Amino acid sequence: MKKLLTAFLGASLLFGAVAANATPEQDRQQLLEYYKHKFPNLKFDDYVHGALNFNPDALSQYFSIMEFPPYDSQFDKGRKMWETPFKNGKKYADCFPDGGKNLAGHYPYFDEKLSKVVTYEMAINSCRKANGEDEFEYKDMKTMGLLTAYSRSLSDGMKMSIKVNGPKATEAYEKGKAFFYQRRGQLNFACATCHVQQVGNIIRTEYLSPALGHAAHWPEFRAGEKVTTLQTRYSQCIKNVRAKPFNQGSEEYNDLEYFHSYISNGLPMQTPVFRK
C-alpha cells in the first residue's frame, strides 16, 4: 500500500502539478509528504545534503572535507571583493540590512514595484549600480560566483523564508512551477523527472537528488575550487537533456528559482558547500 501511494503521488506530482489549483504552501506540503513516504528515515534538515543522503560513505567524506574545505583560497577572493570599498568609499554591506547577515534566505522575492522576481544576484548588481560600478555578468563565476559564495555564507544557518504574496507574485511562482514540471529537450525530461519521480536512483554513477533542499546550499564548489551557482546549474541540466538553456538572470530562470526556493522553506541554509 505504501509503495502504491508513493508511486501514485509521484505520478500526480510529475504530471498533474502544473494543472492543479493548489496554493504554494499546498505544493510544498505535497512535496514534503511525497519525500517523507519515499525516504521515511530522512529527517527534514537532512535534505540540505542532497544526494549525499543516499550514500553514507560519501556523506561521511563530505563532513571530513568540510573541516578543511579545498575551496578556501577561492572563498577568500569572494570575501576580499565583499570587503573592498567601491570607488565612492562604500561597501556591499552598506546596501543591505545588518551588513547582509541573515538575509539571503529571503531571496528570491517578488518586487511589486518592479513587477518581477528579484534574485540575490540581482540585488548584488543593484548595489553595484547604485554605487557607480559596472554590473557583473550573472554567468561570470570569477566575479558574481565568488562574491555570492562568500556573501551568502553570511546567512549560513538561516532558515529559508521565501514569501509568495499577492496575485502577481503567485503568477511568477506558477510560471516557475510550470517550468519545473515541463518536459523539454531531446531526452524529454523535466526538472521533476530526475528530482521528484526518479530521485534516489542512479544516473551516470550519481544519485539523483531531491528538489527539496536544492536552493538551500548554493553556490557550490565543485571539483575543488570551481564555483557553480544555482542558475549555472540550471543551464547545465538543460544542456544535459539536450535543450537550449536560457540566459542566467532571465525571467524564466528567475521564476524557476522562485518556485524552487519556496519549496525549501524552513530548511537551514548551508552555503557554500563542496560537491565532487
Catalytic sites, residue numbers? 237
What is d(CA 51, CA 130) in angstroms, rounded to the nearest whole number?
Answer: 39
CA atoms within 13 A on the CB side of 216: 26
Of 11, 37, 47, the residue nearest 273 (C-alpha): 47
Three-state SS at 160: coil
| Alpha-helix residue ranges (DSSP H) falling in 39-166 | 56-65, 72-83, 120-130, 146-153
How many Cα atoms sit within 13 Å of 261 on the Cβ side? 30
Could you give the 3-state DSSP secondary structure of residue 226? strand
